[in-house]
């Protein structure tokens, strides 16, 4: 069964944000299903829908590690299970 999560990235736009996030996901065997992003007043907003089911890492470890990737890049990265968004915005 797929375990889908949403990764959000918020922060000042710099070179290579997506690359760093994607590198981490690839190394962790996490498949990206969808990416969308916008830049509002130099602020970078991105969200990814990813599939965690093939990764051997636990959810908590992925969430911690990807948050650390964000800290190193100067942006805030959050990883949440998809359920909260689905539940709130879909009947």
Token pair listed for 59 = 């959810």
Residues 16-55 that bind another protein (CB under 8 A): 34, 36-38, 45, 47, 49
Whether 33 and 50 have beta carbons less than 8 Å apart is answered as: yes
Nearer to another protein (CB atom), residue 53 or residue 85 = 85
Q: By C-beta, is 6 or 75 nearer to another protein?
A: 6
69 binds another protein (CB under 8 A): no
- Contact between 73 and 3 under an 8 Å Cβ cutoff? The reply is no
- Contacting residues toward another protein, per CB under 8 A: 6, 8, 34, 36-38, 45, 47, 49, 59-60, 63, 78, 80-90
């Amino acid at each position: 069964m797929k375990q889908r999560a949403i990764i959000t990235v918020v922060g000042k736009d710099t070179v290579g944000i997506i690359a760093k996030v994607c590198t981490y996901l690839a190394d962790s065997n996490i498949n990206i299903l969808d990416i969308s992003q916008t830049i509002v007043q130099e602020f970078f907003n991105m969200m990814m829908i990813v599939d965690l089911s093939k990764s051997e890492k636990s959810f908590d470890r992925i969430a911690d590690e990807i948050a650390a990737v964000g800290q190193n890049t100067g942006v805030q990265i959050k990883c949440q299970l998809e359920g909260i968004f689905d539940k709130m915005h879909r009947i």
